[in-house]
Amino acid sequence: MPIYEYQCKSCGRITSALILRSKDEKEVRCSQCQGDHLVRVLSRVFFRKTEAQRLDEFDTNAPRDDSFFNDDRNVGLWAKKRVKELGVDLGPGLDETIEKARTGKILNDY
């Protein structure tokens, strides 16, 4: 489903809208000022990477700020990559243990 971005000519804010039918585009309003004088802008393209792709590209030695560790997905990714770099095989339960730790469910086991 296409999500388009529009720039408001009144306030300059960029607004995203899901457009299912061409007539829906006429109903789009600015999320900031509710203006209706919008121009479609060229958007960045996003795509999802698989966990394997993220793991291959992940650099455990790169400097990280505190915000990195606030996202539990990053912590799990870091742990998986370090285990791989160290050549350690912790068995098939590693992914399950990391997932439990990331979601806080590991605390229920103790």
User: Does the pLDDT at position 45 exceed 80?
Assistant: no
Contact 103, 75 (CB under 8 A): no
User: Does the pLDDT at position 108 exceed 70?
Assistant: no
In a domain, 46, yes or no: no
Domain count, the chain: 2
Exposed/middle/buried for 8, CB within 10 Å: 0-12, 13-18, 19+?
A: buried
pLDDT digits (tens, 9 = 90+) for 51-96: 889 889 989 888 988 888 788 778 788 888 888 899 988 888 888 8
Of the candidates 45, 43, 11, which has an alpha carbon nearest to the alpha carbon of residue 29?
Answer: 11
Confidence of residue 9 (pLDDT cuts 50, 70, 90): very high
3-state DSSP call for residue 93?
helix
41/6 Cα distance (integer angstroms) = 5
In a domain, 32, yes or no: yes
Q: What residues make up the domain containing 91?
A: 51-109
User: Does the pLDDT at position 106 exceed 70?
Assistant: no
Contact 16, 3 (CB under 8 A): yes
Q: Are residues 12 and 61 in the same domain?
A: no
- Where is pLDDT greater, at 98 or 6? 6
pTM exceeds 0.85: no
